[in-house]
Amino acid sequence: MEKTITSEAITETGEMKRKHYDMVINGKRVAGAAGDTFETFNPATGEVLATIALAQENDAEKAVQAARDAFDHGKWRKYPVGKRSRVLNRIAEIMRQRFKELVKMEVLNSGKSVGAAQVQINQAIEDFEFYAGAIVGHRGKVNNMPYGFFNYTHKEPVGVCAQIIPWNYPIMMAAWKIAPAIAAGCSVIIKPASLTPITAILLNEICHEAGVPEGVVNTLPGSGAVVGDYLVKHEAINKVAFTGSTPTGKDIMEKASKTLKRITLELGGKSPNIVFEDADMDAAVAGSLFGIFFNTGQSCEARSRMFVHESIYETFMEQFIAKTEKLQLGDPFDKTTHLGSIISKEQLEIIDGYVQSAREAGATIATGGKKLHLEGLENGHWYAPTVITDVTPDMKVVQEEIFGPVVVVEKFTDEKDVIQRANDTTYGLGSAIWTTDQGRATRVAHQIQAGIVMVNSPFSAFPGTPFGGYKQSGFGRELCVETLDLYMEDKSVLAYYGAKPINPFGV
Ligand code: NAP
Ligand code: MG
């Protein structure tokens, strides 16, 4: 237990206290062996926030050895389950005590609105509480056997896990990964996104303060192409859990196959949002608006393809566009801000490039469609919430994940036809249906090829709901009880207790 390594990131008056963050290996803060560092930014202002130790391959090797040693020789997985559960609850408790600080750092490093950060950090806390409870009741079973035999399934942690996460929900993704893995008894190495490393490092420090033994949780800030790649190929890593883009997920799957690692992939999406003619109009407008624009559209389950029944299209779109234009962008710490900044200049250009392509292909930009220059935030990366209509299925904006505040809208007339169009994508992560007809809701929900269907709900998940994709959105489910099994092996213990010895060869 390395209680000494935790310390606040900000002062009581809210000033940045730490201007440099080291990686966390074996319960200690460590600089990289080569002494390299990189800068991390506040994307809302463009200012440098802090420097971060840059992990290279030899640092990754140290992390693997520490995690391996903790798993093979350490006590964490041998603790009674109640004790692991208590530590997870303690992590949640410390996070709650340090809530304001975590929110502040998350907003500073990601540019998201303070409201969004609060919701996400609350969820990260609840993830630890959820798995603290779930692991206690998670057990193997006794199986029916022929007379004299006894067989039980012993659930054992899978081993050392590399967990590679994206920048859109920095601490929440870290919690989604760490909580079930350590609840199961695994050791982990977190590879945060290079754009947003700070809160994952803070969370790792909190894990130690809460009593997670050294080596069980390690954090390696560094390039995905270097240390991420190193971990994915490493023989001593048993599992890779990845959230991020589909191309990187495919690359990881290919590399991890060489050592047959267990993998979980939570990848991109192009989720449909279907508004039927019998929808509650107010709820559908508000929920569809949130469905695309929350987290500034930088979300894997963003409902970015909207289908609206033609009989309500005019009325719905009038309200939807009017509300889109009411969304406030600006200082992420201002409580009235709905949308924070885009994560980086590169991402801003990608988004703008998609919108340009739609323009050139003849679509209509109903609102938005431009970079914004906000007073006092001129060096930040800002994009207007954008609604694109008159699109055709072949357009890039309809096919590809944009990962920004951009929604494409199509009309439909027929239920069967809209299901077919909703499924006409290589992705299958989220989907939303707005209807007051329960029969229709069920019928459509069961035909949509996606891991998540929201019925009249603006929210896609809570701790306990399975989260994950069909098709090229990946596989494996996170956030739910079953996730624990993705961090465990079912060992079959088969014993013979019959009165007479057995001599199968008869010799
Ligand atoms: P990405 O390449 O998938 O990165 C996600 C994570 O994987 C980061 O930690 C990254 O590290 C790491 N990584 C990158 N290349 C790797 C490799 N070869 N081996 C192992 N790990 C690797 O995503 P991105 O480049 O940040 O964003 C690109 C696009 O992905 C976005 O425009 C968006 O469309 C999509 N995206 C999707 C999600 C999602 O939740 N589905 C999340 C983020 C982005 P570095 O940060 O050091 O590169
Ligand atoms: Mg990348």
Q: Which of 161, 207, 300, 480 is catalytic?
A: 300
**Is residue 10, in this structure, part of any structural domain at all?**
no
Question: Quick one: average pLDDT of 365-390?
Answer: 98
Same domain, 231 and 364: no
Whether 266 sits among the annotated catalytic residues: the reply is: yes
> Separation of 248 CA from ligand 1 center, angstroms?
6
Say if CB 111 and CB 154 are below 8 A apart.
no
Domain containing 369 — which CATH number?
3.40.309.10
Judged by its nearest atom, the ligand closest to the C-alpha of residue 245 is 1
Decide whether any atom of ligand 1 lies within 6 Å of the 389 Cβ.
Answer: no
Say if CB 464 and CB 479 are below 8 A apart.
yes
Ligand 1: nearest atom to the Cα of 268: 41
When divided into structural domains, the chain yields a total of 2
Same domain, 297 and 369: yes
Residue 57: predicted pLDDT: 98
**pLDDT digit string (tens) for 384-394?**
999 999 999 99
| Residue keyed to tokens 């050791």 | 187
Decide whether any atom of ligand 1 lies within 6 Å of the 245 Cβ.
Answer: yes
**CA 135, CA 77: separation in Å to the nearest integer?**
12
**Is residue 500, in this structure, part of any structural domain at all?**
no
Residue 294: pLDDT over 80: yes
Question: Quick one: average pLDDT of 390-402?
Answer: 97
Residue 275: predicted pLDDT: 99
What is the H or E stretch that residue 346 is in? helix 345-360
**pLDDT digit string (tens) for 138-169?**
999 999 999 999 999 999 999 999 999 999 99
Q: Which residue has the higher pLDDT, 7 or 109?
A: 109
Question: Quick one: average pLDDT of 446-450?
Answer: 98
**Is residue 66, in this structure, part of any structural domain at all?**
yes
Residue 4: pLDDT over 70: no
Residue 11: predicted pLDDT: 80
Say if CB 152 and CB 142 are below 8 A apart.
yes
Say if CB 163 and CB 189 are below 8 A apart.
yes
Same domain, 75 and 189: yes
**pLDDT digit string (tens) for 50-61?**
999 999 999 999
The mean predicted confidence, pLDDT, of the chain is 97
Decide whether any atom of ligand 1 lies within 6 Å of the 283 Cβ.
Answer: no
Residue 82: pLDDT over 50: yes
> Separation of 210 CA from ligand 2 center, angstroms?
33
> Separation of 221 CA from ligand 1 center, angstroms?
13
| Residue keyed to tokens 């954090």 | 219
Angle at 302 between CA 275 and CA 291, to 5 degrees: 50
Same domain, 223 and 106: yes
Say if CB 280 and CB 457 are below 8 A apart.
no
Q: Whose CA is nearest to atom 22 of ligand 1?
A: 224
> Separation of 225 CA from ligand 2 center, angstroms?
8
Residue 367: pLDDT over 80: yes
Residue 3: pLDDT over 60: no
Angle at 328 between CA 327 and CA 332, to 5 degrees: 135
**Is residue 4, in this structure, part of any structural domain at all?**
no
Residue 114: predicted pLDDT: 98
Same domain, 116 and 173: yes
Q: Whose CA is nearest to atom 25 of ligand 1?
A: 245
| Residue keyed to tokens 């798993």 | 71
Residue 137: partners with Cβ closer than 8 Å, 6 or more residues away:
none
Same domain, 307 and 418: yes
**CA 260, CA 254: separation in Å to the nearest integer?**
10
Question: Quick one: average pLDDT of 122-131?
Answer: 98
Residue 232: pLDDT over 50: yes
Decide whether any atom of ligand 1 lies within 6 Å of the 332 Cβ.
Answer: no
> Separation of 377 CA from ligand 1 center, angstroms?
26
Identify the sign of the CA torsion 338, 344, 348, 350: negative
Domain containing 487 — which CATH number?
3.40.605.10
The pLDDT > 90 percentage for the chain reads: 97
Ligand 1: nearest atom to the Cα of 429: 41
434 closest CA partner among 418, 420, 449: 418
> Separation of 248 CA from ligand 2 center, angstroms?
7
Judged by its nearest atom, the ligand closest to the C-alpha of residue 173 is 1
Decide whether any atom of ligand 1 lies within 6 Å of the 469 Cβ.
Answer: no
Same domain, 121 and 258: yes
Query: 151 vs 145, 383, 443, 487, 499, CA distance in Å?
Result: 7, 59, 41, 22, 17
Amino acid residing at 465 = T
Residue 9: predicted pLDDT: 86
What is the C-alpha radius of gyration for the chain, rounded to an integer number of angstroms?
A: 24
Residue 324 phi, psi (nearest 5)? -60, -40
User: Mutation test of ligand 1: which of 110, 191, 245 has the most ligand atoms closer than 8 Å to its C-beta?
Assistant: 245
Identify the sign of the CA torsion 75, 77, 83, 88: positive
Residue 16: predicted pLDDT: 82
Same domain, 105 and 140: yes
> Separation of 412 CA from ligand 1 center, angstroms?
34
**CA 109, CA 46: separation in Å to the nearest integer?**
10
User: Mutation test of ligand 1: which of 36, 164, 242 has the most ligand atoms closer than 8 Å to its C-beta?
Assistant: 164
**CA 43, CA 46: separation in Å to the nearest integer?**
5
Decide whether any atom of ligand 1 lies within 6 Å of the 351 Cβ.
Answer: no
What 453-457 contacts at long range (C-beta under 8 Å, 24+ apart), as own/partner pairs, is: 454/287, 454/291, 454/430, 456/279, 456/280, 456/283, 456/284, 456/287, 457/287, 457/432
Say if CB 231 and CB 60 are below 8 A apart.
yes
**pLDDT digit string (tens) for 183-196?**
999 999 999 999 99
Residue range of the domain that includes 377: 272-455
Same domain, 306 and 431: yes
Same domain, 276 and 262: no
**CA 425, CA 62: separation in Å to the nearest integer?**
42
Residue 2: pLDDT over 60: no
HSE-CB of 316 using CA atoms within 13 angstroms: 29
**Is residue 200, in this structure, part of any structural domain at all?**
yes
What 311-314 contacts at long range (C-beta under 8 Å, 24+ apart), as own/partner pairs, is: 311/277, 312/275, 312/277, 312/279, 312/281, 313/411
Judged by its nearest atom, the ligand closest to the C-alpha of residue 473 is 1
Residue 13: predicted pLDDT: 76
| pTM as predicted | 0.97
Decide whether any atom of ligand 1 lies within 6 Å of the 474 Cβ.
Answer: no
| Residue keyed to tokens 């809208």 | 409
Amino acid residing at 357 = S
Residue 6: pLDDT over 80: no
Residues in the chain: 507
- Cα 301 to its chain centre, rounded Å, is 10
**CA 460, CA 431: separation in Å to the nearest integer?**
9
**Is residue 248, in this structure, part of any structural domain at all?**
yes
Residue 1: predicted pLDDT: 38
**Is residue 326, in this structure, part of any structural domain at all?**
yes
> Separation of 427 CA from ligand 1 center, angstroms?
17
Residues 7, 11, 17, 18, Cα dihedral to 10°: 30
Q: Which residue has the higher pLDDT, 258 or 9?
A: 258
Whether 480 sits among the annotated catalytic residues: the reply is: no
Q: Whose CA is nearest to atom 18 of ligand 1?
A: 225
Question: Quick one: average pLDDT of 402-411?
Answer: 98
Same domain, 192 and 289: no
The pLDDT > 70 percentage for the chain reads: 99
Residue 5: predicted pLDDT: 67
Residue 457 confidence class, pLDDT cut points 50, 70, 90: very high
**pLDDT digit string (tens) for 459-495?**
999 999 999 999 999 999 999 999 999 999 999 999 9
**Is residue 38, in this structure, part of any structural domain at all?**
yes
Q: Which of 101, 205, 266, 401 is catalytic?
A: 266
Decide whether any atom of ligand 1 lies within 6 Å of the 476 Cβ.
Answer: no
Decide whether any atom of ligand 1 lies within 6 Å of the 157 Cβ.
Answer: no
Judged by its nearest atom, the ligand closest to the C-alpha of residue 234 is 1
Same domain, 232 and 329: no
**CA 490, CA 433: separation in Å to the nearest integer?**
37
